[in-house]
Structure 1
C-alpha cells in the first residue's frame, strides 16, 4: 500500500502539498544506500503506537496521526537487507517537512501533517513483529479500596520513611540548574553495567534501579538518588515499541531490595529520540501510575547501531524533566557539572 504525506498550512490547516512517503525518505537515507549498486527498495512498517504529536523544531509541526507514531524502515539492495532501524515518525519526516514548509511560506509558523491511507487505530497491532508476551498471573483479584469499610480487612497508607539529607558537593557534583527535581548519581560500576549489559535489538528491555533516596542539603524540597544496582525485570512483556512490568516482576525485585529502595526503572528504545523528550506517552503514563514517589526516576537507554545514550527523567508538575546524571566512578575530588545524558560509542 502506497502512503502519502499531506502537509497543511496555518490554523485553518489548508492542504498545500502531498508527497509520497517513499519520495520523502529516499534523500534521508542517501548515505546508507551509497555503498551499494542499484535502486533501493524501501519496506516500511508503521506501528499503531502513540508517538509525540509535535515535531520539535523552529516552527510548530503537528502530526495529525500521532496514533501511528513509529515507523520501522528496512532498505533492500543487491538482494539483501542493507539497513533497518525503527524511528519515531516525527524524527524521521519532521526535518524534511520543516524544510519544505520554510520554502513554501517562510513567514508561517504553524503547520500540520498526516500520513494518508492509514487504517483506524482499532485496526493496528503488533502483527508478526518480535514480541515477548507478559506471563499470565494467577491467584490475583482487584480490590475496590472505596469499599474498604465493608471489607474483612483494613487498608491504610504505609508510613513514609524519613529521607536523609545529602550534600551533593561531597560527591563532587555541581548543578548547572539547581531547580531540577532529582539529581541522579550512579554508584560504582553502574554506568559501565548499563552501557555494556546485553540488550535485545529486536524488542525493548527493562528493569529496576535500586539504591538510596535523599533530600538535597542545599534544597530539602528537591531530591537526589544514588543508584547502587541495576536489576533486569523478570516476568515482563515486550515488543519492538513496548515494555511491560507485571506484578510478578515487582515481587521478584522486592526479594532483592534488602534495606535499599526502588529509586526508579529503566528501559530501552530502539528508535531515535525526540530532542525535547525521549519518553513516549506510554512510558510517561507507566511512570506516573507506577513510580509515584517524587524521587523515582525513569532511565531511558536509547540504542543505535553504534552507541548507547542514557538519559534520566523525573516527574515535574505535568512534565517529565531531564535529570542531571553524575557517574561516581569519575574523579569525585574535582567538582564537575552533572550532565543530562551519558553514553558511549
Structure 2
C-alpha cells in the first residue's frame, strides 16, 4: 500500500508529517471484521463526487476533487470486507482521533490523500499532443468548416440463436460471442502491463435475435490496442488519434466489421461488487453510444486475468452473458466471466 495521509497543522496549514494509510484502514474496518491479520491488504478506488462534510468540522480535505472512495480489504485475492463513502465520513473520525493524541491542544488540522495515482507521480504514459484538433461546442452559433451528423445504424442480420448453439432462454439483452482466437487473446495472449492500465477496441459483427425486446449478439472478431492513448496506474485515456486509427483499420480490413466496443484493464483482483468505475461508465455513455456496443474489463493480478463485459441496458451498465466457441461456429455459454486457463 503506497497511499499515505499528509497532515498539515494549524490555521496556516503548516506541513506536519505523513501517516501510513494501513493502520487507518485497519481501524476503519475493525468494527466489522478482524483486521489484525498481518497478511491482509487493501485496495482503494477513488471517485470524484459531491462530498458532504459534517457541520462544524475543523478537519479540511485538501484534495476536494477526490471525495468518494471504495475501501476493499483482501486476504490473498479474496475480498473479505468492503465499504464506500466520502473521504470525510470514512477517514475523518479516524484521523481526528489520531491527531487528538498527537497534539490535544491543536484543533485545526488539514489533510490530503497522497498516492501515485492522485499525485501524478506514479508510472504513467501521457497521451501524445493531438495536432489539428478543434474544440466544437454545438450550442454555440458559429460558422464551421464541416458539419456534424449522426451516423446511420449498420444493417444487422436477424438470426435463429439455435443455429449458433445458443440457448434462447439463456440470452441476455447483450450477448458477447468470443471465437477461439479472440478468447485466447483476451484471457491469455494479449500483452498487458502490470504497471499502467491498458486499453483498446473490439472489432466485430452485430446480429439480432427476433422478438418483442431487442437482443443483440456481439461477435468479437478482433482485439486491437488503442493508438495514441494515455495511461497511468489508475486511469486510461483515449484520444482522437485512437479513434482515427481504429477507423482506418476497419476500412483497411474490409471485412464488414464495426466498432463493437472497447476494453481496458484494472490492476487488481476481480470481485463481484467491483466492476466498472464511475469514470468507465461515463466514458461508455458519452463515447460508445450504440445500444449494442460493449465495455470489456480485464482485471489483472500476478496470477489472474479475468474478463467481464458490460453493456448499456436502459440507463445502467449490466454484465453481459459470454459465449465461447471452441471449434467451428457453434457457441456454448460461459457465464459472465472468463479466466485464464
Instruction: Flag whether TM exceeds 0.5 (same fold).
Output: yes
Shift of 1:215: 1.6
Partners of 1:5 and 1:20 within 8 A in 2: no
Q: 1:329 to 1:119 in 2, by over 3 A?
A: farther
Residue from 318, 321, 329 that aligns with 2:318: 321
Structure 1 runs of 4+ with >6 Å offset:
121-124
Q: How does 1:6-85 map to 2 (within 5 A)?
A: 26-27=36-37, 29=39, 48-49=46-47, 67=66
Is the CA contact 2:203–2:222 (under 8 Å) kept in the aligned structure 1?
Answer: yes
Matched, 1:226 2:202: no
| Residues 50 and 5 of structure 1: CA distance in aligned 2, closer, same or farther (over 3 Å) | farther
Is residue 114 of structure 1 aligned with residue 90 of structure 2?
Answer: yes
How many pairs does the alignment contain?
279
What's the offset of the Cα at 1:147? 4.2
Match of 2:338 in 1: 342
Deviation readout 1:193-226 (Å, 9 max, x if unpaired)? 1122211011111100001112223556121111
Mark the CA change 1:114 to 1:338 in structure 2 (over 3 Å): closer, same or farther. Answer: same
Equivalent position SS for 1:95: strand
TM-score w.r.t. structure 2 length?
0.69
How far apart are residue 325 of structure 1 and its match?
Answer: 0.8
What is the CA distance between 1:140 and its match in structure 2?
1.0
Corresponding position of 1:79: none
For residues 314 and 339 of structure 2, the distance between their equivalents in structure 1, rounded to whole angstroms, comes to: 28
Q: Which residue of 2 aligns with 1:33?
A: none
RMSD: 3.7
TM-score normalized by structure 1? Answer: 0.69
Contiguous gaps of at least 5 residues in structure 2: 1-18, 52-63, 96-109
Determine which structure has greater relative contact order: mean sequence separation of CA pairs < 8 Å that are 6+ residues apart, divided by chain length: 1
| Structure 2: distance between partners of 1:186 and 1:250 | 23
Report the Cα distance in structure 2 between the residues aligned to 1:219 and 1:202, rounded to whole angstroms: 46
Which residue among 277, 298, 303 is the counterpart of 2:295?
A: 298
**What CA distance in whole angstroms lies between the structure 1 residues aligned with 2:36 and 2:282?**
35
Q: Distance in 2 between matches of 1:46 and 1:275?
A: 16
